Amino acid sequence: MNRQRQGPGPGGLPGAGIVDDPDTAAGAEFDYIVIGSGAGGGPLAANLARAGMRVLLLEAGTDAENFNYQVPCFHGLATEDSDYSWEFFVRHYENDDQQRREDLDSVAYGVQFARQLMSHASEHVAREVIPGPEVQTLDEIKAFIRDQAWGHHASCTCKMGPRSDPTAVADSNFKVHGTQSLRVVDASVFPHPRFLHRHRGLHAERKATDAILADVPLRKRAQAAKRRIRQRAGRQGPRPLRTTTM
């Protein structure tokens, strides 16, 4: 099915639209591709489109939303809603102690499995940073997990920091070290776990939008400005913001 929404799009963007068919977006040209429309990706794509950029926003799922997602006071219920829950936490036992042991064992065995995989790529891996070579036995791995793991919200997997920091993935402008056109804009870049809410992703998005637009050459900015003016005047055909679901 190929469906194009007409009229104002997200945030009241003039001329913005959504394409549900990936094939429709395949032949188009875009200035930026944003993967994921969460608290970081969605506003980022919208603000780049508002600035006149042509943006492709990729998101999994459908357009269907119920009250648990639409009404802010029900958002706490969305994590248990079968339509939205990713089932991060699985309860296998009635006994709390037994359940905690299995959760810890699962993470510990995951560390061992990851190490086993990396052993086949040793020529490409200089060294293990976390948990590190000093953590070897199963009991040591479990102790590390108990002391270091934090599971309220997935975060800090692509830490922001200088290139001199071996654990840093992105710089202060959200660029992934060693790349030219790849950025990470969400809770992944936080250096340390904190109480996370959507507004933190929004703060990251605002800074990222400024950083991205600051890197745009003047000629391209002028083209985007003209495109934005045409949008507001209702004279442009192709729409600047498109989303395709996978």
Question: Is position 161 within any domain?
Answer: yes
Q: What is the pLDDT along the chain (246 residues), one digit of tens a residue?
A: 333 343 344 433 433 434 445 666 667 788 899 988 877 888 898 888 888 888 888 887 666 777 877 777 776 676 677 776 665 555 656 777 776 777 788 888 889 998 998 888 888 888 888 888 899 999 999 888 887 765 555 677 888 999 999 889 999 999 999 998 899 998 888 887 655 555 666 778 889 999 999 888 888 878 877 877 776 776 545 555 555 555
* Nearest partner of 89 among 62, 71, 107, 67, judged by Cα: 107
Question: Is position 210 within any domain?
Answer: yes
d(CA 23, CA 244): 9
Question: Is position 5 within any domain?
Answer: no
Q: Are 240 and 32 in contact (CB under 8 A)?
A: no
Question: Is position 3 within any domain?
Answer: no
pTM for the whole thing? 0.56
**Residue 153 annotated as catalytic:** yes
Tokens of 100: 């905690």
Measured between its terminal Cα atoms, the distance across the chain in Å is: 13
Measured in degrees and rounded to the nearest 5, phi and psi for residue 5 equal -75, 140
Pairing of strands 241-245, 55-59: parallel
d(CA 134, CA 221): 51
Q: What is the CATH number of the domain that holds 180?
A: 3.50.50
The per-residue pLDDT for range 192-242, each reduced to its tens digit, is 765 555 566 677 888 999 999 988 888 887 887 787 777 677 654 555 555
What 8-state DSSP symbol labels residue 66?
-
Domain count, the chain: 1
Question: Is position 2 within any domain?
Answer: no
Question: Is position 196 within any domain?
Answer: yes
d(CA 217, CA 221): 6
Question: Is position 62 within any domain?
Answer: yes
Q: Which of 92, 120, 124, 153 is catalytic?
A: 153
Q: Are 152 and 193 in contact (CB under 8 A)?
A: yes
β-sheet bridge partners, residue 55: 32, 241
Question: Is position 113 within any domain?
Answer: yes
Domain that holds residue 138: 10-245
